[in-house]
Every structure is written in C-alpha cells, then in structure tokens.
A = this chain, B = another copy of it.
Amino acid sequence: MTKINSVAVVGGTHGNEFSGIYLLRKWQNNHNLISRSSFSVQTVLANPKAHEENKRYVDSDLNRQFDISELANLDLANYEQSRAKVINNQLGPKGDAKTDFIIDLHNTTSNMGPSLILLQSDEFNCKMGAYVKSRMPEAVVVFEDHASVEEHYFLSSITPQGVIVEIGPQPQSVIRQDVLDWMEDMTRHILDYVDLHNTNTLPELPSSYEAFEYTETLKLPENENGERIGMVHKNVQDGDFKQLNSGDPIFTLFDGSEISWEGDYEAYPHFINEAAYYDNNLAMSLAKKRIVEI
C-alpha cells in the first residue's frame, strides 16, 4: 500500500442518521480534531436535502448509487442519483479517484455497537481492524468482501480504500451520546491508523483477531402477496453478533407460530430489525466468524 494523501470524511449519506451529521458540524469548527500531518482531509455532507426533510433519502437510497455503470448513466437523474454523480466528481471518479480514502459514517437502529465495515481484506484493512480493536476493544470488524470494492454500489467504493463506520443502536432522527462518542472515537482511531501507516510508525499489533464476514441477508416472513406476516423473534432481537444455530427460532409470525433458522453454519446476525431495511422487507444480515491473521 502506498501513502494515503487525501482523505474524505462523509456524513449524512442517510439524512436521518444523525451522529455523522453532528460530528461533521463539530469537525468543521474544529478541523484540528480530524487533521493529521501526513494527509489532507475534507468533510462532505452527502445528502443535505434528505437531512433537511429528516428522511433517509428523498428519491432513492444514496448509498446504493455508486455502481460504476450507473454513475455513467446520465438518464439516472433523481436527487440521489444526481448527488451520487456530484460526489463521484468531487471525490472520484470511481476507478481513477483523486481521493485515496473515504470514511463514511452511518447509524443503525440495530444493536451493533461500534462496527467497522470493510469491503476488502487486504493487508492494509486487516491491520486497520487490528489497530482499531486494540484501541477500542468493543469494536466489531465486519468484512463485506464477497465482491471487489469496485463492484460495490456504496459511496465508500468511490475510492480503492475506504471504510463504513456503522454505529448503533440509535433510532432514526435521534442523537444518543453513547453512539456519538463511539463514532467519534472510531473515526479518530481510523485517522490515526492512516497517519501511522503513512509515516511507517505502526505499533506492534496482535497477530490475529476475531472478525465477521457477511454471508447473506434474510427477508421478513411474507405471504404469497408479499405482505409481511411476521417479525424478528424476541430471542434474536438486540442479539447482533451473537451466535445463531440451525434450529434456533428466528421469526415469530403474527399468528403466534415460530420459524426456526435452518442453516448449515454458525451464523452471526447483525443489522437485526434495522428500520431502513423494512422498505425491502429485510430482517437482518448474517455473517460467519473469521479469524484474521496479520
């Protein structure tokens, strides 16, 4: 990995995820909190109109608009599709980006704690996970590396390197101090890591650590008409990153009956009952445990 010269810290990609938006305001007034000597850093409020309207998005989810062919498709012109093109021009363009590293700040209504989502498992990212966990033992590292960074449609995929900081539980349109503090801490550790990487002064890191790798997304139970007929089982609610075994109850139907998970691996649910996932009737994501060796 070469040196990282240019970093963007992005908040408000979803307009009702308040922590990043409030941190941006703080950092814009106190730039020294995010500046480091070995790189330049800018802040970007990604979806100001959605924040004004106190919504996740106005027309479509901004964090699903960064597919490289869709960025090039000028017929895609709704508000978020337009914002995506502007942000891609500002920080990218994807494939040949002028920015080296994006930190995209998100909240979830799920009980995920301070989670660091990484889109690839190269040495730089694996070491970053180790560094952040060494400074913040409650941090959880999740790899969503089932596709290449460029194939992802997330905002942070504009740059070859980037992270999603995902902190919860926090209801939409609320500021919780514990969640804000976690987000500020995790962002600081990530910026420190980049600086230590750049200056070749990384401390010794543990040789391995426990992380998770995304496997699949589960839908809420539906009938033939696509209507929701059940909910996340109370034993699973709030149990993000707790083990789920085949045969464990996972959904309760509104008629009182239960559905069990029938999988062939030890699963670790996360994004459990995330409010924003209801748009697509999604119930949760599943992961496997992964031991990362560095």
With A172-B171, A254-B26 in contact, is A234–B273 under 8 Å at CB?
Answer: no
> Chain B nearest CB: distance from A82 CB in Å?
23
Q: Are A237 and B171 in contact (CB under 8 A)?
A: no
Q: Are B275 and A172 in contact (CB under 8 A)?
A: yes
Q: Give the contact stretch, choosing among A112-120, A146-154, A175-183, A186-194.
A: A175-183
Interface string of A127-154 (1 = CB under 8 A from B): 0000000000000000000000000000
Q: Are A273 and B176 in contact (CB under 8 A)?
A: yes
Please name all residues of chain B whose beta carbon is closer than 8 Å to the beta carbon of A237 when the two chains form the complex. Answer: 176-178
Quick one: closest B residue to A169, CB to CB? B171
Which listed residue (B169, B174, B232) contacts A177, Cβ 8 A?
B232
Number of copies: 2
> Which residues of A from 160 to 214 have beta carbons under 8 Å from B?
169, 171-178, 180-181
| Given A22-B254, A173-B275, 15 further pairs, Cβ under 8 A | A25-B254, A169-B171, A171-B172, A171-B275, A172-B172, A173-B278, A174-B273, A176-B231, A176-B232, A176-B234, A176-B237, A176-B273, A177-B233, A177-B252, A180-B231
Interface size class of chain A, counting residues whose CB lies under 8 Å from the partner chain: 20 to 34
29 of the cross-chain contacts (CB-CB < 8 Å) are A22-B254, A26-B254, A54-B278, A109-B171, A169-B171, A171-B171, A171-B172, A171-B275, A172-B275, A173-B275, A173-B278, A174-B273, A174-B275, A175-B231, A175-B232, A175-B273, A176-B231, A176-B232, A176-B234, A176-B237, A176-B273, A177-B231, A177-B233, A177-B234, A177-B237, A177-B252, A178-B234, A178-B237, A180-B231
Please name all residues of chain B whose beta carbon is closer than 8 Å to the beta carbon of A231 when the two chains form the complex. Answer: 175-177, 180
Residues of A within 8 A of B (CB): 22, 25-26, 54, 109, 169, 171-178, 180-181, 231-234, 237, 252, 254, 273, 275, 278
